[in-house]
């Protein structure tokens, strides 16, 4: 959208409530990981009550001038009694140090986990931290005839995040949830261009790893009377705002009914140059199945792409990765998959590695290191077999599968070991 059309004035989104954010139409990637084909916006809001004015979030530092110009068009700094920080990432807190200088009387309301972040953000300014009040669900601030009520919605997508509800008007200020990187000076969801892709892309890359927290937040939000959702990026959602809440619930819920819901699931991914690692994978899978209570799926990574397998990883309870060793490393499709998992939550899943090798067999240990780095639990030693697995070696693979099934189903046998015996 043409930035020239944007005025310096605030935009009223409800009586006495204004958007005072900034547009960044030329940004083409955000936080390195996200593409932003038409830029983004940093949304900040002003709420006027009879006894004071509240500012909800600010903007990225280099857009502070736009923010202050718009803010000054609707409020005096002396009137500001309240600053709400729904999320302290620098794209929303960049203008905060300057705002605190201009409105030193304002009290800052933020989540408990945001307190240390606030101190860290203000470090370079040398300024003393302002008076700040940690708040949680149902805490309120009275602006005079208008009430801000807080919702504790952590990990969307940082530990500090919260939402703020303007009770009398049914306005919900949500920080990054329900936001998207989409820059359009027409501002409202019923007047901007088609931003549906951006909305879903944002969820997939920012919120998806935290989908359990998304569902917790939705449970808090759904009972509210919502007239408008004011996120920290992208269009203000005034037309059918509840549809976006509903869509978030859909996005955070598995698409297909999971037939194996009552069982644990193990997905075995492998690659095999000569069929040896494949035979290991099949034996492992058979071993895991044989114990009962675990539904096993076997996938050859050569037959698909990392993006598709990511969905399987997200849903699985346990993951086993099989790779031959080629030139002292695991093969590239394994690394492609293992470097694509930042968009899903895999912490605490069971992980294991196995593979056939011809010479030095580094792949298994390298994969195990990566699994631990990704915060999977890896209680079962990986299995390396030189070249062609024979009958007794395939039996070891079966036992590995059984062992994984025991861990998945809580049927582990207690072991006593001495630390000196650990590698």
Partner 1 sequence: MPKAKVTFQDIGVSVTVPAGTRLIEVSEKVGAGITYGCREGECCTCLTKIVSGGENLAPPSILEDQVLKDNLAPRGHRLACQAQILGGELVVKPA
Let me know the angle formed at the C-alpha of 151 by 150 and 155, rounded to the nearest 5 degrees. 130
The string over 164-202, giving b where at least 16 C-beta atoms fall within 10 Å of a residue's C-beta and e elsewhere, is bbbeebebbbbbbbbbbbbbbbebbbeebeebeebbebb
Q: Which of residues 101 and 372 has its CB atom nearest to partner 1 in the complex?
A: 372
Q: For residue 197, is it left (φ>0), alpha (ψ between -120 and 50) or beta?
A: alpha
Q: Which lies closer to partner 1 via its Cβ, residue 24 or residue 368?
A: 368
Burial class (CB in 10 A: 0-12, 13-18, 19+), 25: middle
The residue ranges that bind partner 1 (CB under 8 A) are: 112-113, 115-116, 159, 347-348, 372, 375, 377-380, 407, 412-419, 422-423
Q: How far apart are CB 417 and partner 1 at their closest, in Å? A: 5
Name the residue nearer to partner 1 (CB basis): 32 or 419: 419
Long-range contacts for 130-135 (Cβ within 8 Å, ≥24 apart)? Answer: 130/83, 130/100, 130/104, 130/106, 131/107, 132/107, 132/108, 133/107, 133/108, 133/109, 134/110, 135/109, 135/110, 135/111, 135/162
Tell the smallest beta-carbon distance from residue 373 to partner 1 (Å). 9
What's the closest the beta carbon of residue 42 comes to partner 1, in angstroms? 26
In the complex, least distance from residue 138 CB atom to partner 1, rounded to whole angstroms:
16
CB 146 within 8 A of CB 166: yes
CB of 58 to partner 1, least distance (A): 23
Judged by CB, which is closer to partner 1: 40, or 111?
111
> SS3 letters for 221-265?
HCCCCCCEEEECCCCEECCCHHHHHHHHHHHCCCCCCCCCCCCEE
User: Cβ of residue 136: shortest distance to partner 1, in angstroms?
Assistant: 10
Nearer CB in complex with partner 1: 225/369: 369
Q: Which is nearer to partner 1, 390 or 413 (CB)?
A: 413
- Residue 317 CB, shortest distance to partner 1, in Å, is 12
Residue placing its CB nearer to partner 1 in the complex, 114 or 385: 114
59: its two tokens: 């903007």
């Amino acid at each position: 959208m043409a930035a020239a059309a944007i005025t310096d004035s605030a935009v009223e989104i409800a009586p006495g409530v204004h958007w005072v954010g900034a547009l960044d139409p030329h940004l083409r990637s955000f936080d390195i990981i996200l593409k932003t084909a038409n830029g983004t916006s940093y949304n900040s809001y002003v709420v006027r009550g009879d006894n004071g004015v509240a500012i909800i979030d600010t903007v990225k530092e280099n857009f502070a001038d736009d923010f202050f110009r718009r803010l000054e068009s609707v409020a005096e700094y002396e009137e500001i009694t309240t600053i709400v920080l729904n999320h302290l990432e620098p794209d929303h807190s960049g203008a905060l140090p300057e705002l605190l200088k201009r409105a030193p009387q304002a009290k800052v309301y933020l989540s408990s986990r945001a307190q240390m972040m606030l101190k860290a953000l203000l470090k370079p300014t040398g300024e003393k931290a302002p008076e700040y009040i940690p708040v949680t669900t149902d805490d309120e601030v009275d602006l005079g005839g208008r009430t801000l009520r807080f919702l504790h919605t952590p990990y969307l997508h940082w530990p500090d995040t919260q939402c703020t509800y303007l009770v009398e008007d049914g306005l919900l200020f949500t920080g990054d949830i329900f936001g998207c990187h989409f820059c359009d000076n027409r501002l409202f969801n019923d007047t901007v261009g088609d931003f549906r892709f951006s909305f879903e892309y944002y969820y997939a890359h920012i919120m998806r790893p935290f989908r359990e927290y998304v569902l917790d937040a939705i449970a808090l939000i759904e009972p509210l009377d919502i007239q408008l959702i004011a996120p920290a990026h992208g269009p203000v959602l005034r037309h059918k705002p509840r549809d976006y809440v509903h869509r978030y619930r859909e996005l955070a819920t598995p698409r297909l009914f999971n037939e194996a819901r009552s069982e644990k699931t193990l997905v075995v991914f492998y690659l095999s140059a000569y069929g040896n690692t494949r035979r290991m994978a099949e034996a492992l899978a058979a071993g895991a199945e044989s114990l009962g209570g675990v539904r096993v799926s076997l996938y050859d990574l050569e037959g698909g792409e990392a993006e598709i397998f990511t969905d399987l990883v997200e849903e699985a309870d346990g993951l086993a990765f099989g790779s031959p060793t080629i030139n002292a490393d695991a093969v590239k499709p394994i690394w492609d998959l293992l470097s694509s998992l930042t968009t899903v939550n895999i912490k605490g899943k069971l992980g294991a590695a196995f593979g056939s090798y011809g010479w030095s067999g580094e792949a298994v240990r390298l994969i195990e290191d990566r699994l631990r780095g990704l915060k999977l639990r890896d209680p079962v030693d990986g299995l390396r077999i030189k070249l062609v697995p024979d009958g007794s070696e395939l039996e070891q693979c079966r036992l590995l599968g059984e062992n994984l099934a025991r861990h998945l189903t809580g049927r582990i046998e207690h072991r006593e070991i001495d630390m000196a015996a650990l590698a």
